[in-house]
Amino acid sequence: MPYVRKRGCKCENKKKCKCGATWSFTANCGTDPVTGERIQIPGSGYKTRQEAWDACVEIELQYKKGTYVKGKKVSFREFSEDWLKHYQSIGGVSDGTVDIRRNAINRMLKHFDKVQVHQITTKMYQDMLIKMKEPGGKNDEEGYAQETLISTHNTGQMMFEWGIIHGYTRHDPTKQSKLPREDTQYEVGEEEEELPKFLEKEELAKFLKVVEEYGTFKDYVAFYTLAYTGIRIGELSVLCEEDLFKDKLQLRINKTVYNGKCNAKKFKLKKPKTKKSRRIIDIDETVVMLLEKQIVKQKEIKMSMRNIYYDKHNFIFANSERNPGYPEHRNRFVRRMRKYLSKAKLSEELTPHSLRHTHTSLLAEAGVSLEAIMDRLGHKDDNTTRLIYLHVTKKVRKEASQKFAELMRGVNLKS
């Protein structure tokens, strides 16, 4: 039978405790077959009697089934570091995904940093999720978006499941915890799903004109290429001379870049996530001409800085300043694009990835099929691309309906 009690309570009315004393238990797990002594496993630090009782019952059941593992007395920080090392060591996990898990851990560390992992209760974990959802004061970074909460909770679930298997804790506080509901109100005329931001064709022309007039030649070629090919910024950053097939008017996309630490010299070349992303796309003569000119200019930079130039991959858009020859970091393109958008008096919320969405919208407007667009972008299936396509072709579908009605007006349907 579980034995549960509150230790150290100094309140006269024990039922209305205000001193902060916590509940403890002693689980009775039978007798040691060798020594004949009773096996008693203690636990403490629970805020309510019910939590202590549930934890005690769980231990007794685990001991009976032979699945009980004694919890290790380590802090949540130590536990998270051990788990992240394990997570990085398993195959098939990209560096970008590891960064997502690391960011989720950093959010949880604000709540559990030095707390012993086996003392984290369901209520403590649930309170953390609620606190993350609610916006705080001026210096409080809580008030996270629903997607961020989901990412944090998913990471927590993986960590504690692993923690039980490896003996860091005896219970999983994430199992009974729920994500706070997102309070959303429907607005009349609101899209079923939020449409990603992109430029209309007139806005794109205006943006590129501003880049050509006020920016560097490399910036102009980079943004022109992004808009006219729909490739990702990570794919553009590591385009090499050998990827341009000028005679065939084609561009090969077979790699991307990872540089999460923003250290140019520690970049990693990565294969695209799927086979579909490794592709050869057709490009027009203007794109070929601009890329050829950029290659010539990059070679001139290489010659002028040949003593310090990183000359291994022949990147077309290589850095030419602090780390010559290394691929440009995406943040540089983000900053430069924001500058040109401001100059053009366009939305500064747009990013280089928005040019990929722009390419999708203009292909749809030109009458290219959704399947062909997916193929060009390197998607097997993508909801965002589909959403843009349906939005742009809505007008075409409406016109088709009107033309059908007009056609039938001249037909006598009466027999």
Q: Residue 292 sits in a domain of what CATH number?
A: 1.10.443.10
Same structural domain, 301 and 374: yes
Per the CB < 8 A criterion, the answer to whether 281 and 229 are in contact is yes
Helix (H), strand (E) counts: the chain? 14, 8
Res 138 pLDDT > 50: no
Q: Give the domain range for residue 57.
A: 3-65
352 domain-assigned: yes
Same structural domain, 261 and 314: yes
Same structural domain, 370 and 269: yes
Same structural domain, 61 and 81: no
pLDDT tens figures, 258-303: 876 677 788 888 887 778 889 999 999 999 999 999 999 999 999 9
Q: What's the total number of domains in the chain?
A: 3
**Confidence grade of residue 304 (pLDDT, cut at 50, 70, 90):** very high
Per the CB < 8 A criterion, the answer to whether 128 and 108 are in contact is yes
Q: What is the dihedral of CA 181, 52, 117, 39, to 10 degrees?
A: -150
The closest of 38, 46, 41, 45 to 3, measured between CA atoms, is 41
Same structural domain, 241 and 377: yes
- Whole-angstrom distance, CA of residue 389 vs CA of residue 387: 5
Per the CB < 8 A criterion, the answer to whether 81 and 88 are in contact is no
Average pLDDT value for residue range 332-342? 94
Residue type, 107: R
48 domain-assigned: yes
Per the CB < 8 A criterion, the answer to whether 230 and 239 are in contact is no
172 domain-assigned: no
Between 110 and 271, the higher pLDDT residue: 110
Same structural domain, 115 and 30: no
Same structural domain, 106 and 24: no
pLDDT of residue 84: 92
| Angle, vertex CA 194, rays to CA 192 and CA 200, nearest 5 | 120
Per the CB < 8 A criterion, the answer to whether 1 and 17 are in contact is no
180 domain-assigned: no
- 181 CB contacts (<8 Å, ≥6 apart)? none
- pTM score, whole prediction: 0.62
Same structural domain, 48 and 130: no
Per the CB < 8 A criterion, the answer to whether 27 and 60 are in contact is yes
Containing H/E element for 157? helix 146-165
Report the mean per-residue pLDDT for the chain.
85
pLDDT tens figures, 179-208: 887 655 545 444 455 778 899 999 999 999
Same structural domain, 359 and 271: yes
Same structural domain, 98 and 61: no
Which tokens sit at 245? 């097939």
- Whole-angstrom distance, CA of residue 148 vs CA of residue 162: 21
Return the percentage of the chain with pLDDT > 70, whole number: 89
DSSP letter for 365, please. H
407 domain-assigned: no
**Up-side HSE of residue 43: CA atoms within 13 Å toward CB?**
32
pLDDT tens figures, 8-38: 777 766 667 777 788 888 888 888 675 677 7
Residue type, 266: K
Between 66 and 71, the higher pLDDT residue: 66
**What separation, in Å, do the N-terminal and C-terminal C-alpha atoms of the chain show?**
87
Same structural domain, 57 and 151: no
Mean pLDDT comparison of 38-42, 96-100, 182-186, highest-scoring range: 96-100
171 domain-assigned: no
Same structural domain, 245 and 309: yes
366 domain-assigned: yes
Res 321 pLDDT > 50: yes
- Whole-angstrom distance, CA of residue 378 vs CA of residue 281: 9
pLDDT of residue 186: 46
334 domain-assigned: yes
Containing H/E element for 269? strand 268-270
Domain of residue 102, CATH code:
1.10.150
